[in-house]
């Protein structure tokens, strides 16, 4: 009798699950915009094997407002995750090549992200520094140049704690310009290039709102890339060139 009851229970409506729900199809690759250009190999800068690439694009030189677009790899290309607005340094993007310290320009090119910092780790896979009153970013030549360290520091080291307290470094990702693993650090070139909160022009960083920086950090893994610059310098396809070179400032 127990066997019969067990059989009945197994076949009762309450235990009948019906046919399995088909797995959701993966998202299709973008058919236009920065993520499409990335998937088609129409980006002027190397992105390696990065599965996630974030673009920061201005219409023209001297323009400080940028569009940030996050692209993640899917079968057949890349798809857009999110899009937001932000700002460069107060002089806009520099031309491809070296950007000098205190130029107020944001470097053009493709750079990895491997490190981050802020008030509290939001759950990122990047190396993360929770800031304290001794947190500094090295600006002097030497072992701490263009690196995080803790100590009293001296000019031109950045006091990360103070800048966090005024809302800029609540969360920040380090863009590996003029630092390893992308390049050997060189005094005289710009340093302390971050994607950070604050939504304002800076000395050379990328700035957007805190929610976007936090979202970026939560999905970032070491080796993700940020590609940044003027539209026509970044994209090789004419359809992405929003600015007529003859009218560029």
Does 18 fall in a domain? no
- C-alpha torsion 89→149→178→80, nearest 10: -60
Neighbours of 83 (CB within 10 A): 15
pLDDT attached to residue 17: 54
Q: Is 17 a member of any domain?
A: no
CA distance 175 to 208: 14
**pLDDT at site 197:** 97
Question: What is the pLDDT, as a whole number, of residue 241?
Answer: 42
CATH number at residue 108: 2.40.440.10
Residue 2, domain member (yes or no): no
- Residue 246 forms part of a structural domain: no
Contact 197, 213 (CB under 8 A): yes
Q: Where are the beta strands (DSSP E) in the chain?
A: 52-58, 65-74, 77-87, 109-118, 127-130, 135-137, 148-150, 158-159, 171-175, 194-197, 206-208, 224-230
Cβ contact 137:160 at 8 Å? yes
- Domain-embedded: residue 4: no
Q: Does residue 243 belong to any structural domain of this protein?
A: no
pLDDT tens, position by position, 75-116: 999 999 999 999 999 999 999 889 999 999 999 999 999 999
Using only C-alpha atoms, the chain has a radius of gyration, in whole angstroms, of 23
Please state the domain count of the chain.
1
Residue ranges for the chain with pLDDT beneath 50? 1-16, 238-249
What integer pLDDT is reported at residue 136 of this predicted model? 98
pTM listed for this prediction: 0.84
User: 244-248: long-range contacts (C-beta < 8 A, 24 or more apart)?
Assistant: 248/60, 248/61
The pLDDT value recorded for residue 5 is: 39
Tally of residues, the chain: 249
Q: How many Cα neighbours within 13 Å face the side chain of 196?
A: 27
What is the tens place of the pLDDT at every residue in 48-58?
999 999 999 99
pLDDT at 184: 93
Scan for tokens 């992105």, then name that residue: 47
Which is nearest to 61 in space by CA: 189, 239, 228?
Answer: 228
Q: Which residue has the tokens 């009153």?
A: 133
> Residue 121 and residue 124: Cα distance in Å, rounded?
7
Range of 60's domain? Answer: 31-234
Q: Are 233 and 61 in contact (CB under 8 A)?
A: no
Res 108: pLDDT = 98
On whether residue 21 sits in a domain, the answer given is no
Q: Is residue 171 part of a domain?
A: yes
Is there a contact between 130 and 119 (Cβ–Cβ < 8 Å)?
Answer: yes
């Amino acid at each position: 009798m127990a066997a019969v009851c067990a059989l009945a229970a197994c076949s009762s409506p309450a235990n009948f699950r019906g046919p399995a729900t088909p797995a959701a199809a993966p998202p299709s690759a973008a058919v236009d915009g920065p993520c499409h250009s990335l998937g088609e190999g129409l980006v002027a800068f190397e992105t390696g094997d990065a599965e996630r690439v974030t673009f920061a694009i201005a219409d023209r030189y001297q323009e400080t407002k940028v569009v940030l677009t996050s692209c993640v790899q899917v079968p057949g290309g890349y798809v857009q995750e999110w899009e937001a607005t932000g700002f460069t340094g107060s002089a806009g993007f520099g031309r491809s090549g070296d950007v000098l310290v205190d130029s107020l320009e944001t470097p053009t090119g493709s750079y990895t992200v491997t490190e981050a910092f802020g008030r509290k780790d939001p759950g990122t896979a990047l190396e993360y520094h929770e800031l304290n009153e001794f947190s500094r970013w090295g600006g002097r030549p030497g072992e701490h140049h263009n690196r995080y360290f803790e100590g009293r520091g001296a000019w031109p080291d950045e006091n990360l704690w103070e800048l966090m307290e005024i809302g800029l470094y609540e969360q920040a990702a380090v863009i590996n310009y003029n630092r390893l693993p992308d390049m050997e650090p060189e005094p005289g070139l710009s340093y302390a290039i971050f994607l950070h909160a604050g939504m304002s022009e800076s000395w050379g960083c990328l700035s957007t709102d805190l929610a976007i920086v936090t979202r970026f950090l939560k999905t970032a893994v070491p080796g993700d890339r940020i590609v940044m610059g003027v539209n026509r310098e970044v994209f090789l396809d004419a359809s992405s060139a929003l600015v007529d070179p003859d009218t560029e400032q």
